[in-house]
Amino acid sequence: MSEANDATDQPTSEKLVELAKRRGYFFQSSGAYGGVGGFYTFGPQGASLKGNVEDAWRDRFAVAEGNMEIDAPTIMPEPVFEASGHLEGFDDMLIECPECGESSRADHVVEDNTEYEDAESLPIPEVEEVIAEYELVCPACGAGLAGQAVETFNLMFDTNIGPGDSQPGYLRPETAQGIFVEFPRLKEYARNQLPFGVTQIGRAYRNEISPRRSIIRTREFTQAELEYFVDPEEDEPPLERVEDVEVRLYPVSEQNDEDGAEIETTIGAAVEEGIIGDAWVAYFLGIAKPWYEAVGVDMDRFRFRQHLSGERAHYAADCWDAESEIDGNWIEMAGFANRTDYDLSKHEEYSEDRFTVFKQYDEPKTVERATVDPDMSFLGPEFGGAAQDVVAELEALAERDRSAFEGDSVEIELEGETHELPVEKTGFSVDEETIAGEHVTPHVIEPSFGVDRVVYTVLHHAYSEDEVDGEERTYLELDPEVAPTFVGVFPLQSDDELEAVANDVVDDLREAGLSITYDDSGNIGRRYRRQDEVGTPFCVTIDYETVEAEETTVTVRERDSTDQKRLSVDDLAETLAAIRNGDREFEAL
Ligand code: GAP
């Protein structure tokens, strides 16, 4: 990163948003119609950078880990979200301004204007009290918000599937549900063997109350999620692969301590010392840290922070966020949660399919099983149409608590009423049975990445300013792995001979698999500046020496140092491809 980075007082975010629009990274969508908050279009450079980040994620979290990838629909029917709990609990706190009608997130109003850092975890009455106590005001018009009711607002976008309103549906608020609902089929593809992982990169939708900070909080965004299904009794992560990875951690204990601080440690030590309680979560943090580094996140501005208990999602037992520092604030780029068996158990309960894996024992086992065989000639007259419900209750009770059948009578609950039955009429017995295995509900470990926030962080951390030949320069110090273009090719002037060589160079470099931009407009300095601003690592200029000298050579200029070297055209493609793959270094040429 250039030392001259952030040379002016204007925050980098503001300069970046301006550059992003000018150079085709991202801009607010539907501008011709006034634009609408929370929706962004990635321009040619942005779409390419985002695609490269997604490819890098796929390589690491799907391919290298041997996980499957799927691509599920973004609209799902209502029962899915009844089961997942999103219909009931996927809410934010909404406060409406009594003067201008502007809707704001009540917890953000509190966090932005008081010392509270985690207002999301406070109960609503307490948020209302804080707003009154601090006399907080509407961020839009400055009118007082004290006394205004804070309400819950469900973040899901709803729609109707097909004509009419008989089948309500929702745009998925997380890609994860598309994986969970297909578990009965996916486990077959995994040959019913735990552990296994399923990834998905795709759009998620949240009707955010106050989308903000450009692509950091939007209403439509891309997630890259891995749902890793494990046997909670048996499966252990291969921690030895990541135990030496160095990490900066900010656990709950340090956050709650007035003098608390981030801890620099390794994944292995953090697990051994109980700083990270869940070894699976630790394993994925250990994979994620070098991945973020490889795509260009500045490791001096990166940490993992554990969720405070009130902050955790309704499904999570433990959760750590990957956070990046942006203009002095930490933003969440990903969450690493242990979702336990919450989702699969819920879908098993609400759907008609099985969300378990049959675990075969090495040797069949003999077990005792409590069963009932009720006397229907007794239950029929006694319970009429409800007799089958009584049978189901007795079966469940026998499995749950066989001691309930120890006396002469047994009690069951049916629609809120208690009924007493003679045990002899239930046909209760305990028999020995040989079983080959058991049905296990897997637990889910979930690394969930926000792709847009990675793109934003990479751009923000790459944003640099310096002075070249007495002129101020802005450049993006993007890693070659993600930069939209690897080489800009320029003929020095509009000249048939120079252009012919330049076109040959373009063909050669493209054939070597490099992404190329050809630019023949404006003076050479302007062309360098353009490529610097989009973060192109190298520029190749074809000049008169190229066509006049005995050996055909070109000038290759490196973005960050602006150093130039003359290289032979014959091995240009091979050399640049080697640099792209990390096998050679420009300085050493
Ligand atoms: N399946 C788990 C899940 O969705 P989350 O913490 O709500 O967890 C995961 O979201 C990631 O998605 C976040 O860490 C963030 O990077 C990204 N994300 C969430 N809401 C977003 C929004 N409104 N705009 C952009 N990215 C968002």
Decide: 448 in ligand 1 pocket, CB within 6 A: yes
Decide: 543 in ligand 1 pocket, CB within 6 A: no
Asked if residues 507 and 489 have their Cβ atoms less than 8 Å apart, the reply is: no
72 and 200 co-located in one domain = yes
325 and 228 co-located in one domain = yes
Q: How many residues are there in the chain? A: 589
- Nearest ligand 1 atom, CA 332: 14
Q: How far is the CA of 32 from the centre of ligand 1 (A)?
A: 28
Q: Is residue 479 part of a domain?
A: no
247 and 307 co-located in one domain = yes
Average pLDDT over residues 39-47: 98
Q: How far is the CA of 209 from the centre of ligand 1 (A)?
A: 15
DSSP string, 427-463: T-EEEEEEEEEEEE--EEEEEEEEHHHHHHHHHHHHE
Instruction: Tell me which of 54, 174, 227, 324 to substitute to probe ligand 1's pocket, judged by most ligand atoms within 8 Å of the beta carbon.
Output: 174
Q: How far is the CA of 215 from the centre of ligand 1 (A)?
A: 12
Of residues 107, 176, 474, 513, the one with CA closest to residue 316: 176
Instruction: Tell me which of 326, 333, 338, 453 to substitute to probe ligand 1's pocket, judged by most ligand atoms within 8 Å of the beta carbon.
Output: 453
Decide: 450 in ligand 1 pocket, CB within 6 A: yes
536 and 495 co-located in one domain = yes
- Nearest ligand 1 atom, CA 206: 23
581 and 556 co-located in one domain = yes
* Residue 1's pLDDT band (cuts 50, 70, 90): very low
Q: Give tens-digit pLDDT for 368-408.
A: 999 999 999 999 999 999 999 999 999 999 999 999 999 99
Give the pLDDT of residue 326: 97
Closest protein CA for atom 9 of ligand 1: 448
Decide: 225 in ligand 1 pocket, CB within 6 A: yes
Q: Give tens-digit pLDDT for 138-168.
A: 999 999 999 999 999 999 999 999 999 999 9
Residues above pLDDT 70, as percent of the chain: 99
Cα dihedral value 419, 423, 424, 429, nearest 10: 130
Decide: 453 in ligand 1 pocket, CB within 6 A: yes
302 and 211 co-located in one domain = yes
Q: Give tens-digit pLDDT for 173-189.
A: 999 999 999 999 999 99
H-state helical runs in 192-272: 252-256, 267-272
- Nearest ligand 1 atom, CA 216: 25
520 and 575 co-located in one domain = yes
Say how far apart CA 473 and CA 530 lie, in whole Å.
10
Tokens for 245, please give them. 């990875």
pLDDT of 585 strictly over 90: yes
Q: Is residue 216 part of a domain?
A: yes
Q: How far is the CA of 456 from the centre of ligand 1 (A)?
A: 14
Q: Give tens-digit pLDDT for 180-227.
A: 999 999 999 999 999 999 999 999 999 999 898 899 999 999 999 999
- Nearest ligand 1 atom, CA 450: 16
Average pLDDT in the chain: 94
pLDDT of 462 strictly over 90: yes
Instruction: Tell me which of 180, 221, 312 to substitute to probe ligand 1's pocket, judged by most ligand atoms within 8 Å of the beta carbon.
Output: 221
Say which CATH number the domain at 316 has. 3.30.930.10
DSSP string, 140-174: TT--B-TTPPEEEEE---EEESSSSSSSEEEE-SS
Stretch among 95-99, 115-119, 329-333, 371-375 having the lowest mean pLDDT? 115-119
Q: Is residue 351 part of a domain?
A: no
Give the pLDDT of residue 8: 56
Of residues 311, 178, 289, 299, the one with CA closest to residue 281: 289
122 and 177 co-located in one domain = no
- Residue 220: Cβ within 10 Å count: 19
Decide: 221 in ligand 1 pocket, CB within 6 A: yes
Number of domains the chain is built from: 4
pLDDT of 322 strictly over 60: yes
Q: Is residue 475 part of a domain?
A: no
Q: How far is the CA of 207 from the centre of ligand 1 (A)?
A: 12
Average pLDDT over residues 78-89: 96
Decide: 218 in ligand 1 pocket, CB within 6 A: yes
pLDDT of 35 strictly over 50: yes
169 phi and psi, to 5 degrees?
Answer: -140, 170
Closest protein CA for atom 14 of ligand 1: 334
Instruction: Tell me which of 105, 319, 332 to substitute to probe ligand 1's pocket, judged by most ligand atoms within 8 Å of the beta carbon.
Output: 332
Q: Is residue 4 part of a domain?
A: no
pLDDT of 4 strictly over 70: no
- Nearest ligand 1 atom, CA 448: 9
- Nearest ligand 1 atom, CA 337: 2
379 and 247 co-located in one domain = no
Q: Is residue 348 part of a domain?
A: no
Give the pLDDT of residue 314: 77
DSSP state of 588: T
Higher-pLDDT residue of 371 and 118 is 371
Closest protein CA for atom 19 of ligand 1: 450
Closest protein CA for atom 5 of ligand 1: 335
Say how far apart CA 552 and CA 568 lie, in whole Å.
6
Closest protein CA for atom 4 of ligand 1: 174
Q: Is residue 329 part of a domain?
A: yes
Instruction: Tell me which of 156, 223, 304, 314 to substitute to probe ligand 1's pocket, judged by most ligand atoms within 8 Å of the beta carbon.
Output: 223
Greatest CA separation found in the chain?
A: 109
Q: How far is the CA of 223 from the centre of ligand 1 (A)?
A: 7
* Residue 507's pLDDT band (cuts 50, 70, 90): very high
Q: How far is the CA of 337 from the centre of ligand 1 (A)?
A: 12
Q: Is residue 69 part of a domain?
A: yes
Decide: 208 in ligand 1 pocket, CB within 6 A: yes
> In the sheet where 91-96 sits, what is the strand order?
103-105, 91-96, 150-154
pTM above the 0.85 mark?
A: yes
pLDDT of 88 strictly over 60: yes
201 and 332 co-located in one domain = yes
Say how far apart CA 205 and CA 497 lie, in whole Å.
52
SS3 524: helix
Query: Structural domain of residue 125, as residue ranges?
Result: 91-154
Give the pLDDT of residue 309: 81
Asked if residues 72 and 182 have their Cβ atoms less than 8 Å apart, the reply is: yes
Stretch among 252-266, 284-298, 544-558 having the lowest mean pLDDT? 544-558
- Nearest ligand 1 atom, CA 176: 1
301 and 233 co-located in one domain = yes
- Nearest ligand 1 atom, CA 333: 16
**Placement of tokens 């000038």 in the chain:** 555
Q: How far is the CA of 334 from the centre of ligand 1 (A)?
A: 7
179 and 277 co-located in one domain = yes
Q: Give tens-digit pLDDT for 355-379.
A: 999 999 999 999 999 999 999 999 9
Decide: 174 in ligand 1 pocket, CB within 6 A: yes
Give the pLDDT of residue 3: 40
Say which CATH number the domain at 108 has. 3.30.40.230
> In the sheet where 538-542 sits, what is the strand order?
516-518, 487-491, 538-542, 553-558, 564-568
Average pLDDT over residues 512-516: 96
Closest protein CA for atom 20 of ligand 1: 217
Of residues 240, 311, 305, 316, the one with CA closest to residue 275: 305
Tokens for 302, please give them. 């990166």
